[in-house]
């Protein structure tokens, strides 16, 4: 399937299941270096808050569900800490398959490049259009690149106007897992970002 860009994308599907079923026929998405497993977004249509990560990791690839590994646990914990049940949100990724290289038997995560992000951008656009969240949270740089042009450095933690909705940029939770020093401080700031997004989406938190 040809690449499509966010602003010029046609409206292609009327439901999420229809959108996700279409991937089975889409061999063009099985680029070298990617898993065959497509991990769709999860949550309810109409969820007020949409959280967008980078791509499925090893655990997500094995289970077919987004954010179920260590980064997902950290996301769940921080949402719960501000009084948001993840089940009331919609969770997805900018890229829908795990990109990795093999080292022996280990599958090592590879960061998606601009072409990978562009190839999957229309999925994200369709998810946003069909779910209709009030606030979209970009978790880290890949999600931000997928959503166009917002800078984590300059715009982090603010509710920005974006495509008729609000967008908040914050870190990816896996960044916290890599921190040795000052993780508590960084996690508190991440939680505060989530709280601002949740309030903007209408949660009483
Ligand atoms: N990291 C992501 O960005 N997404 C997942 O689903 C899991 C880990």
CATH class assigned to 12-200: alpha beta
Q: What pLDDT digit, counting tens, does each position of 129-168 carry? A: 999 999 999 999 999 999 976 677 788 999 999 888 999 9
Q: How far apart are CA 58 and CA 74, in angstroms?
A: 16
Q: pLDDT digits over 59-114, tens only?
A: 999 999 999 999 999 999 999 999 999 999 999 999 999 999 999 999 999 999 99
Distance 4 CA to ligand 1 centre (A): 23
Distance CA 139, CA 160 (A): 15
112 lines ligand 1 (CB under 6 A): no
Between the CA of 173 and the centroid of ligand 1 the distance, in Å, is 9
Question: Mean pLDDT over all residues of the chain?
Answer: 90
Distance, in Å, from the CA atom of 204 to the CA atom of 196, rounded to the nearest integer, reads: 11
pTM: 0.92
From the CB of 140, is ligand 1 less than 6 Å away?
Answer: no
The kind and range of the H/E element at 153 are: helix 152-155
């Amino acid at each position: 399937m040809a690449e499509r860009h966010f602003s010029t994308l046609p409206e292609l599907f009327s439901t999420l299941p229809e959108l996700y079923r279409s991937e089975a026929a889409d061999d063009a998405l099985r680029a070298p270096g990617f898993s065959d497993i497509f991990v769709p977004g999860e949550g309810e249509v109409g969820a007020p808050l949409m959280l967008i990560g980078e791509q499925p990791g090893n655990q997500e690839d094995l289970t077919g569900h987004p954010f179920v590994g260590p980064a997902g646990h950290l996301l769940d914990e921080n949402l719960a800490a501000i009084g948001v049940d993840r089940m009331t949100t919609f969770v997805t990724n900018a890229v829908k398959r795990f990109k990795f290289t093999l080292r022996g038997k280990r599958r090592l995560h590879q960061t998606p490049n601009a072409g990978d992000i562009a190839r999957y951008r229309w999925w994200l656009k369709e998810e946003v259009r069909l779910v209709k969240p009030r606030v979209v949270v970009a978790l880290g740089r890949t999600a931000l690149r997928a959503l166009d042009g917002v800078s984590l450095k300059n715009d982090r933690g603010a509710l920005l106007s974006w495509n008729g909705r609000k967008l908040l940029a914050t870190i990816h939770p896996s960044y916290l897992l890599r921190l040795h020093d000052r993780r508590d401080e960084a996690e508190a700031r991440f939680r505060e970002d989530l709280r601002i997004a949740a309030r903007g989406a209408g949660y009483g938190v």
